[in-house]
Structure 1
Amino acid sequence: MPSFTMRYSLDRTNSLQLRYRSKSSAPSVTSLQNVIDNSNPLFLSAGNPDLDQQLSHTANLRYLRTTKSGYTFIAMVGATIQQDYVADSTFVAKEDMELTPSVTLSKGAQFTRPVNMDGYYSLQSMLTYGFPIDFIRSNINLSLSANYANVPTIFDGIESKTRELNLIPKIIIGSNISNNLDFTASYSAGINKMFSSLDTATGSDYITHSASAKLGWTFFWGLTFRSTFDYIGYTGLDTGAEDYFLWNLSLGKKFLKNNAAEIRVEAFDVLKQNQAFTHSIGSNYYDYINSNVLKPYAMISFVYTIR
């Protein structure tokens, strides 16, 4: 598969990069097996042994400006096209029907299998601006990403398009105080809009809020303290997903030559609020999944750094 990269320096602080790459992706073993999965009687599925591999072509152009005083500006635009995209083909049974001698599709249930389709494309863009703040000896980075995807599907024999638009503003403050003290604070919002060309699937708009803070401190006699604090929140979802905080702590002691070794006592999910939530797009539906996660726990770890 061909690829191409060209870099051009306008001067010492400004440069352009143009990149093209292509790749092939073979279908998974599950997607190729013509075996019916009836673990959910309302949503049956099977593989397709006639699937071909996907071919993708991606091109992007990036502009970069950096200065000796620490100012950075990056602008990027890109696009991806996929040939023989592995899409879902779904139909709804109008009456009870027999798929195999041992599997029956009930009236109103859905059966899905993968097929190759053309028409998938996505667009990406990003702006980033970074600058130093001397009075707290830190750097601030502001960024905005915008992504759009057009995903082909088939429902009841009718080709449709599922479209997704994502806007992601983000701010990061990173310290540059010393080797013994480091902190980072950030906030980002994922603004998601999804809709289908089929009347059977309504749009889905929601916002994901993510804030985090991280502190690392090495103080007297090689003692270390680390803490991470994350907040995840949702706006516009009526799925039972709740806002939550995730707080982890660590206390350690460095020793040996050049403090190459460290033993730590770490505690995870101190507030007992950890969750796992994902959102996926089907051919005629939007799926919200809450998964089980690890409960709070503590452990002792030993770390040796080789320099």
Structure 2
Amino acid sequence: MKSNRLSKLIGIDYPLFLGPMRLITLGEMAAAVSNSGGFGQIAASGLSPDRLREEIDKAHRRTDRPFGVNIPIYRKNAIDQLEVCTQCGIRTITTSAGNPTRIIELLRNSGVKVLHKVSSVEMALKAESAGVDAVIATGHEAGGHVGRDGATTFCLVPMLVDALQIPVIAAGGIADARGLVAAFAFGAEGVEVGTRFVATDKAPVPDFFKELLIMARSQSTTLLGKNAMPIRVLKNKAAVSILNPVKSEEDRQIQGDAADRQYIQSGGDADSAIMPAGQIAGLIQNVKDIGAVFPEMIEAAHTISERVFKNFQRER
């Protein structure tokens, strides 16, 4: 992993990415992951340009290793956020939820690398044609916003590897070394991990969110907004009320403001908060030191790879 195209492109030890999560993966988390050998990311979604600058400065004070920023292109302040990134010396940006062509045009000849999130082969081919440096293949089982087509990570990744010339990063359904090894077996040159990092000591979320992740099973998440911008969240009373609207005026208002007013940092409790999480939550059993997640995955991946290789060796 240390010498593949992706790690060389970005200048990191290992092509293991912290998945950007709105109002969660901020400066402190990004720096901690980069210090552990991976690539930390600050999620720009929900941040004003000034707040984004503060979080970038916070990360710079905590690490001298590369980290990046994720910018959802459809947001009205996306270009303002991009300007902040370039002013603050960010060398790698990941983009999502939109066509990256305009971003590429603005960054042309700047040396800034652009990695774009995709959920289909068609989207990936358009992104490659636009000039992105790599794509992040986000499967339907991922937490947060996912594609509408329903392709899973481990179906999508090999299709993209076959179709593209640029590196593919696997995202969704990866929380431990088994997922890491599987992603590389499918041809990915990196992985992005989100939900696993919510259950870490540095994640700025309420304790009940982390506890619910530890208790989660395979059926503990659900999709909201399937016909608009699908988002996978933990299944609780708030999520169920959005899925099954009732008639009272109070509940109508709750449903209409779910994306922001019920988001975890806006208060609430285990029943009323909206908590993005992937299906992989069912594998999370404890709250980890954030700096241990990727090093432990790498160490265990070596053992798994050796065991798999031995199983396929022929007797001489």
Q: TM-score normalized by structure 1?
A: 0.22
Structure number with the higher helix fraction is 2
Give the TM-score, by structure 2 length. Answer: 0.22
> Which structure ranks higher in relative contact order (CA pairs < 8 Å, sequence separation ≥ 6)?
2
Task: Choose between structure 1 and 2: higher strand proportion.
Answer: 1
Structure of higher CA gyration radius: 1
